[in-house]
A and B are shown apart, each in its own frame.
Chain A
Amino acid sequence: MMKKRINIWTNVLFVGFLCFVSIFNLFGKNKTFSDNENRFLQQFPTLSLKSIQKGEFSLKFELWVQDQFVFRDTWIMVNTAMNMAMGKIENNNVYFGKDGYLIGRFFYDEYKKVDSNIESINNFKYPAYVMLIPSSAEVNKDKLPNFAYNSNQKVLEDYIVSKLQSQHTPISISDALSNCQDCFYRTDHHWNLKGANVAYTSFIKALGDQPIEYLFKEVSTNFKGTMLSKSGVFWNEPDHLQSVELLENLDVKVTIGEQEYDSLFFKNRLNEKDQYAYYLDGNHPIVNIENRNNPDGNHLLVIKDSFAHALVPMLVPHFHKITMIDLRYYKNSVSEYIQTENINDIIVMYNMDNFVTDGNLIFLK
């Protein structure tokens, strides 16, 4: 008798759950964009004999079911929580660190790409400063969960510096950053202004100039960065984002493509998911900054990844012009650009994580 009841319960729960979810999926409202993934979601595919025959329909149909699944974010959080309960210390290669830190795993097992990137820099005939920015896994070592494993970035930096040819000048910031508390976002892979400021001080001193004492002010308290998205820990406390008081009223002209702006900070970006783009509007092939307050200053060229966006605003008072080039998008000759413009200083500035994985440094020609 009891067995009978248990079987009925089993069948009711199973069929009930199937129907409940299926019906919800069928009548749920379709979303167009996923902020966490930064991509458009699949919409219901068009049905035609041809699309069925080519297997296109079934493929897109399955993507549609996945992308528009009811309570999708909640399911993903359940999965993250389950992984935590199973004693995992990471999800999608993001460590569940202490004090709400979500720290990207840094791991490389071969030097091929590193060597090719060093070679690209060495083949570049213009003398440059080279700054390698350690990632959160190195700077926030004390926040990592026990037994987390990351490749040693200090060893890697020493290796790269030892191979660098003499026309270039390395600027090491790893020691200065290693004592830096709260210098990276907890939920994003980037450094924050405090971290960037440490590097700023080192660089300005290397140029023989006097660093300015900047004050920061809060502009956002709900920044949910890339590490939060990637880890699936959607319930993590969001980060705060800051601006630099002194730089807000500078008389600048920022040229991005055909557009010109009069600020280093882009307020409208604070309404979007990736608030880090508040600094210099995020990624572009080439960005020109002109500081009208310092017409006699030098022209600096920054070959960089996105880590530079938090740092470069602080450099602006020291120069007349700063040009940022992102080799992931800029495919023209950098040398030609240097010849046509009157460039005084060059800095190559890369985050370690990008330096060991990114293949675009070969475009440094």
Chain B
Amino acid sequence: MVFSSLTFLFVYFPIVLLVMKISPIKLRNFFLLLLSLIFYGWQEPVYIFIMIFSTVFDYFNGYMVYKYKDNRKVAFRFVLLSIIGNLLVLGFFKYFDFIIYNLQNIGFTSLKPLYIALPVGISFYTFQTMSYPIDVYMNNATLQKNVISFATYVAMFPQLVAGPIVRYKDIASQLDSRILSQDKFADGVFRFVIGLGKKVLFANMIGKVFDEILLLESNLTVALAWIGMIAYALQIYFDFSGYSDMAIGIGKMLGFDFLENFNYPYISTSITEFWRRWHISLGNWFKDYVYIPLGGNRFGIVRQILNIMVVWFLTGLWHGAAYNFILWGLYFGFLLILEKLFLSHFLKHLPKIVQHIYALFFILIGWAIFAIEDFGRMIFYLRSMFYLNKLPVINDLTIYYLRNNGVVFMILLLASTPLFKFLYLKYIKNRKVEWIMPFAMLLVFLLATASLVNASYNPFLYFRF
């Protein structure tokens, strides 16, 4: 199930609110776990078992790490066991077929892929469960005695599908006691509806543009190639950050405080800054559990460069089992190293606007690599962006796209900066007009519902006849 579905909004979520309201505090985690498992197993019930395995496995590892906390060597073995176990699970479900395809390409033609359906959220929860024994080992967290509480942490539906990746240490105390209040619930409502609007209204409204432009051949003008890439950048940002907002909002309604996952990434002045503002929880995870354990910057510049490339190779691979994701990761690793070595010092002296253009330029090229899995198509598209296909710079089709989506583009571009937040803080918050906020919330909710209902409207079946 996903948050942006009518079933979630108008069947599942009301039930969750009701159950949470009437259940005694002691049983809240248990019910939340139960509801989360239904959420998780909604489409593929058998995969619940993988999650339960992962949970019990890491509960056990965490326990053993704690038990042998005075014997670092033994404790470390259980950390290692957890890492290997989780990576095997993740590797099997996410990368097995990818490996088989590659082996087929180099001659092992008798191998056959298994066509495994990727279990929802497996990339997220394997990382989360792994973080528990590691946190205990590093003394960042204490032992969780209650297996229900631990399972609640793993399965908790708000962040299950698409993050934020919650590290165990960040949420440990909230599992056993959390504050629920009228005010916090209202904060959660606002956050959730903002996220819903970002995903359902903004991302979906612009989503068609890139899909259509990607299919063009002789009409892919230079301008359209850029318009398409900007549309994709906006789509993926509002889609993903909207989903994170919804997760954080639901968390608040249930009493949890998750960490922020996005912070206006497109106002960055460098790639380094971009990655501090984009999918923050993933960056933090890799920093805490890969980069620093590898030695970080403590063993000289050569080792640091190597560490950065390892982290970004893995970051790319984590996003999907395909070469373009690996290339995308390495691309950013390379840019980050350049910035670390000399580019940042150089850029610092340039006007701010140049720094913004620099960052956005490389972010957009990055999205082209990320979005287009087929390498032939990717090259064609990138060439179009730079007039290397000798297609026109602009044509009537380009004008049409600008006319049809101009307003949407303007709104989304502005919404990807802190402008609206600034206006809210300056002119609305704590002033008389603040009373409009609940109604604005309701309006966004209504429009998002309209958009979701419309998505099910499928009048294409007979139009050719």
Contact = CB atoms under 8 A, between A and B. Distances in A.
Given A11-B186, A36-B459, A147-B403, A22 B453 contact: no
Contact of A22 (B14, B43, B456, B458): B14
A37 B10 contact: no
A62 B189 CA distance: 24
A86 B183 contact: no
18 contacts: A6-B438, A7-B182, A10-B441, A13-B438, A13-B439, A25-B10, A37-B461, A38-B462, A39-B458, A72-B457, A78-B447, A88-B407, A89-B403, A109-B219, A149-B399, A149-B400, A230-B459, A230-B463
A13 B441 contact: yes
B295 interface: no
Given A11-B186, A109-B219, 5 more contacts: A9-B435, A86-B205, A92-B459, A110-B218, A274-B462
Contacts of A207: none
B347 to A, nearest CB: 36
A22 B9 CA distance: 9
B464 A109 contact: no
Interface size class of B (residues with CB under 8 A): 35 or more
A39 B10 contact: no
Interface stretch (A63-71, A120-128, A169-177, A289-297): A63-71
A78 B403 contact: no
A38 B189 contact: no
B215 A109 contact: yes
A97 B189 CA distance: 39
Interface in A164-204: 189
B230 interface: no
B438 A65 contact: no
Interface size class of A (residues with CB under 8 A): 35 or more
Interface string A258-282: 0000000000000000100000001
B280 to A, nearest CB: 27
B105 interface: no
B396 interface: yes
A86 B217 CA distance: 28
B227 interface: no
B14 A82 contact: no
Contacts of A328: 464-465
A226 interface: yes
A9 B17 contact: no
A13 B439 CA distance: 8
A217 interface: no
A148 interface: yes
B6 interface: yes
B403 A55 contact: no
Interface string A322-340: 0000001000000000000
A298 interface: no
Contacts of A4: 182-183
Interface in A1-19: 2-4, 6-11, 13-15, 17-19
A240 B441 CA distance: 42
Interface string A302-343: 000110000000000000000000001000000000000000
**What does DSSP make chain B's interface, helix, strand, loop or mixed?**
helix
Given A22-B10, A36-B459, A65-B6, A14 B408 contact: no
A90 B404 contact: yes
Contacts of A36: 457, 459
A53 B10 contact: no
Interface of B: 1, 5-7, 9-11, 13-14, 17, 42-46, 182-183, 185-186, 189-190, 193, 205, 215-219, 396-397, 399-400, 403-408, 411, 430, 434-435, 437-439, 441-442, 445-447, 449-451, 453-454, 456-465
B190 to A, nearest CB: 7
Interface of A: 2-4, 6-11, 13-15, 17-19, 21-22, 25, 36-39, 52-53, 55, 58-59, 61-63, 65-67, 69, 72, 75-76, 78-80, 82-83, 86-90, 92, 109-110, 146-149, 189, 226, 229-230, 232, 274, 282-283, 305-306, 328, 354, 357-358
B434 to A, nearest CB: 6
B12 to A, nearest CB: 10
Contacts of B454: 75-76, 79-80, 232
B118 to A, nearest CB: 14
A7 B186 contact: yes
A82 B451 contact: yes
| 8 nearest A-B pairs in the assembled complex, by CB-CB distance | A149-B400, A66-B456, A87-B407, A7-B186, A75-B453, A147-B403, A79-B454, A78-B450
A274 B459 CA distance: 13
Nearest to A104: B463
B182 A8 contact: yes
A175 to B, nearest CB: 23
B251 to A, nearest CB: 16
A75 B183 contact: no
Nearest to A88: B404
A90 B408 CA distance: 13
A79 B451 contact: yes
B10 A149 contact: no
Contact of A11 (B45, B189, B437, B457): B189
A67 B456 contact: yes
A10 B190 contact: yes
